Amino acid sequence: MTDFYAYWREELVNPGCNARDTDRRDLAGFYRMNAAKTKPDYPVAMWMNADDTLLLLKIGRQKPIEQKTDKFWDFEGSGWFHCVAVEHAEYLKAFETGEWSDGKPARKVEKVVEPPKEPEPAPAPQEVANAPSVRVPGVPVAAGDNGGPPLGHDIAEQVKAENALLRTLTAKPVTDKDTAEKVGECVNRLRALKSRGEKEHEVAKKPWLEGGRIVDAAFNPSIKAAADGIKLGADKVTNFLKAEQARLEAIAIEEAAVKQAELNRRAKEQAELTATPIEEIEVKQVQPKQVLAKVGGAAGRSLTANQRRYYKAQITDFYALLDALKDEPGIREAVEVLAHRLANTKDATIPAGMKVVEDRHEEAA
């Protein structure tokens, strides 16, 4: 008897162990369809129909969708790739309460529409500005008031300090990992300040559109300064990563060449000991290991070089390529092997550039 829940059970034990692009029929189970932070993660259930011939799919509180329909195929091509297996109890909690155990919504929050209210007249800007006790987002405290520092002052000071540190760290090209790490940490802190400035900017500006110009003047310079600092630091770290990536790749290529030379040497010895033609001995081709230069930041982010891609050669002019590579390690060794083979082949035509000489070996008494 087929266990139509086998795929789901395997995913519960080892998440991500199975491919989503699969022809397996045992997909029945309970899943969480992950979405963006601002959208709900819908609970998903799949089970077999009455005669065990087709899967049925239920997303959130929608009506069940039968397999081999357009809606089901749409799910297979998009939402299914974002599903993770969950316990049945967790699925029921999300379905019944509209919320997962970690607090993420499992359905859209229904908006309560209230009847419109008569708008209250906005206070005159000078009245608000002259009232020390009023701390309304969007209206800065006037000079001399005791209500606190000017709007945006805290972020401006922090951005100023981070950019000062960044200028010190990047006064010269970044050439070591320790400095690159510190620059990366500055970039991450500036990213956080930039994000915070943008959010507080919106909060401060929304209730008092009349004060939009004042709010822009308070926050935009800090946001731009943070963005400039991010670009400066990221460019410096990127230049370091490119150089570091090239260095690591050169080491990997050199290590692969050493391993390949050793394998070729062993194959040659085996051929001589067993009197086997060298071409009949299989020699593994060593590929350089993939490496990736990386610098981590204090906020948990990291800056990395682009993943190296490996390619294969397509020879378009053999003789021109041979001439270009004639001084490369391994070429002479390969030619010597072919020459020895010709020297020991009866009636072989001996090409220019070599001659056959007798190789005397004294036999043991």
- A 10 A CB-CB count for 139 gives 21
The answer to whether 85 and 46 are in contact (CB under 8 A) is: no
Kindly tell me if the per-residue pLDDT of 365 is higher than 60.
no
- Residue-wise pLDDT for 305-320, tens only, equals 554 455 678 888 888 8
Q: What is the mean pLDDT of residues 278-295?
A: 83
Residue 138's pLDDT is what?
38
Q: What is the mean pLDDT of residues 50-59?
A: 89
- Residue-wise pLDDT for 147-187, tens only, equals 445 778 788 888 999 999 999 989 989 899 989 999 999 99
Residue recorded with tokens 């970690």: 102
d(CA 111, CA 97): 17
Report the percent of the chain where pLDDT is more than 70: 81
Phi, psi (deg, nearest 5) at residue 272: -70, -40
Q: What is the mean pLDDT of residues 205-211?
A: 68
Kindly tell me if the per-residue pLDDT of 42 is higher than 90.
yes
Kindly tell me if the per-residue pLDDT of 127 is higher than 50.
no
Q: What is the mean pLDDT of residues 118-134?
A: 42
- A 10 A CB-CB count for 143 gives 7
Kindly tell me if the per-residue pLDDT of 92 is higher than 70.
yes
Higher pLDDT, 61 or 110: 61
Kindly tell me if the per-residue pLDDT of 211 is higher than 70.
no
Kindly tell me if the per-residue pLDDT of 120 is higher than 70.
no
Closest Cα to residue 129, out of 214, 13, 3, 253?
A: 214
Closest Cα to residue 80, out of 143, 133, 19, 15?
A: 19
Closest Cα to residue 133, out of 146, 150, 152, 122?
A: 146
Q: What is the mean pLDDT of residues 275-301?
A: 76
Residue 231: band (very low, low, confident or very high) from pLDDT cuts 50, 70, 90: confident
Q: What is the pTM of this model?
A: 0.33
Q: What is the mean pLDDT of residues 360-365?
A: 46
Kindly tell me if the per-residue pLDDT of 23 is higher than 60.
yes
Residue 360's pLDDT is what?
62
